[in-house]
Amino acid sequence: MPIISVQIEVLNSKELVEKKKGKIAKWAASIFIGDKKIKKKVEEQVCAEVVKTLQNTLKAKLREEGVDAKINISVKNDAEIEQV
C-alpha cells in the first residue's frame, strides 16, 4: 500500500499567536510557556486542521470518482518518525 507523508514546520508561530490571541497573549505565552512550546502547540493545531481538511476533501473527491476507499490520516511526532 502506498503511503503519502506530509511534514509541516510552522515558521511564524509567534505571529500566528499574536494574530489569533493578540499582543498581550503573545507576550504572556512567551514568558510562561517558551518559544519552543508555543511553536509545538501551533504546529499541532495546524496539523489537526490539515488532517481534518484532508479527510473531508479526499473522501468527497474519491466518492465523486466512484472510488470506495478507507482513509487513515494520522499525525506522528518527531520521535515516532525516527523509530520508523
pLDDT in tens, 14-59: 777 777 666 656 666 666 667 777 788 888 888 888 888 988 898 8
Domain-embedded: residue 5: no
Domain-embedded: residue 2: no
Domain count, the chain: 1
Residue numbers of the domain that contains 63: 13-83
54 φ/ψ angles, rounded to the nearest 5 degrees: -60, -45
Domain-embedded: residue 43: yes
> Mind listing the pLDDT tens digit for each residue in 1-16?
566 677 777 788 777 7
Q: Tell me, what's the pLDDT at 75? A: 79
